[in-house]
Amino acid sequence: MRKKVLAVVLAASMGLLLFAACNSADQNGKESSAESSQSVESSVAESSVAESSVEESSVAESSVEESTEVVEPEVKAMTYAEYAAAEVDDPVVIEAYVQANQSWWDGKLTVYAQDKDGAYFIYNMACASQEDADKLVPGTKIRVTGYKAEWAGEVEIAEDATYEIIAGDTYVAEPVDVTELLGTDALIEKQNQKVAFKGMTVESEALYKWDGSGKEGDDLYFNVSVNGNTYTFTVESYLCGADTEVYKTVKALKKGDVVDLEGFLYWYEGVNPHITAATVK
């Protein structure tokens, strides 16, 4: 009799245990999924702490996946003139066409973009993957939401701006010859644009880093002159690496060579173009 009672008690206990365990697992599952959705929100919100809206971020990502879908923008994009007039640290929304990208790294991509009125340097824009970065081929129209910034004279859209691809028209800018603008106040109006410099004389051979302390694969710095003034130009290694034609050409330049150059009119405490093409005459 006692054995029976014991068996019943044990069976009942085990049953309860089983029920509790199942229920607990179920609840834990719910808690864990609640937690994970919470953490998703938190990480999205995190990226938007100061720079971007959650909605924009997710819209950008989904539109990247379905790049053929036309997105109806909610906020009217600024014209280039409005962008140029905006104060540093103001929020900005622009639409422009990708001209080139630096190398993608861990969710960030630096983009050179331009429209028919002006150009934009979009520094470390949020970009989820290399696959997404690959979709931003030259000519692709993008809508960028972020904040205007200025770093060492370079006017840009600050780190962690978000973007979405806008399907439809494309535009690849032709380089504007700014040789005669070098040394003038008018040059800065072309900041970030795709530009050309004709008949520049090489004043010093290229250095790895600004003083030659670098190595193969680092940025190349070289001096060129025109109209009696000398300027420092750069082959930015994240834009044109050691295996590119321009890197090899610039590395081989000799003092006295005359070259035609193309690139983007980047600024660092004065004009400091990022060169993308070089032709020795």
Partner 1 sequence: MTGKRKSGKIRLTILMAAVSLSLLSLTGCHGSKGRAEFEVPKELDESRTFEITFWAKNDTNKTQTEIYQEAVRRFEEYYPNIHVNVRLYTNYGDIYNDVITNIATETTPNVCITYPDHIATYLTGSNTVVPLDSLFEDSRYGLGGKKVAFESVKREEIVPEFLEECTIGENIYAIPFMRSTEACYVNQTYVEKLGYELPDVLTWDFVWEVSEAAMKKDAKGNFVVNGQNVMIPFIYKSTDNMMIQMLRQKDWGYSDESGEIQIFNDQTASLLKTIAEHGKTKAFSTFKISSYPANFLNAGQCIFAVDSTAGATWMGSEAPLMDISADKVVSFKTAVRMVPQFDPEHPQMISQGPSVCVFNKADPQEVLASWLFAQYLLTDDVQIAYSGTEGYVPVTLKARNTQEYQDYLAKEGQDRKEHYDVKIKATKLLLENTQHTFVTPVFNGSASLRDAAGQLIENVVKSVRRKQTVDDKFIDKLYQDVISLYRLDQIGGTTETKKDLGPLPVTAKLLLGTLALVWICIITVSVARVLKNKAKDAKKNAK
Q: Which residues bind partner 1 (CB under 8 A)?
A: 2, 6, 9-10, 13-14, 16-17, 20-21, 23-24, 27, 42-43, 45-46, 49-50, 89, 91, 105-106, 108, 123-124, 147, 149-152, 159, 209-215, 219, 221, 234, 238, 268-270, 272
35: left (phi over 0), alpha (psi -120 to 50) or beta: alpha
In sequence order, the 6+-apart residues with CB closer than 8 A to the CB of 59 are 71, 164
Coil/strand/helix, residue 196: strand
In one-letter notation, the amino acid at residue 7 is A
CB of 272 to partner 1, least distance (A): 6
CB of 168 to partner 1, least distance (A): 31
Coil/strand/helix, residue 202: strand
186 class by beta-carbon count within 10 Å (0-12 exposed, 13-18 middle, 19+ buried): exposed
C-alpha separations of 76 from 32, 60, 82, 148, 153 in Å: 40, 16, 11, 16, 27
Element (H, E) at 110: strand 108-114
- The nearer residue to partner 1, 128 or 258, going by C-beta atoms, is 128
- The nearer residue to partner 1, 45 or 280, going by C-beta atoms, is 45
Please count the other Cβ atoms lying within 10 Å of the Cβ belonging to residue 156.
23
How far is the C-alpha of 80 from the C-alpha of 84, rounded, in Å? 6
Structural contact between residues 210 and 221, judged by C-beta atoms closer than 8 angstroms:
yes
CB of 93 to partner 1, least distance (A): 14
CB of 171 to partner 1, least distance (A): 28
CB of 145 to partner 1, least distance (A): 13
- The nearer residue to partner 1, 16 or 70, going by C-beta atoms, is 16
Structural contact between residues 207 and 270, judged by C-beta atoms closer than 8 angstroms:
no
- The nearer residue to partner 1, 21 or 176, going by C-beta atoms, is 21
CB of 50 to partner 1, least distance (A): 5
- The nearer residue to partner 1, 203 or 260, going by C-beta atoms, is 203
CB of 177 to partner 1, least distance (A): 23
Nearest alpha carbon to residue 120 among 136, 89, 138, 97: 97
- The nearer residue to partner 1, 80 or 268, going by C-beta atoms, is 268
- The nearer residue to partner 1, 46 or 169, going by C-beta atoms, is 46
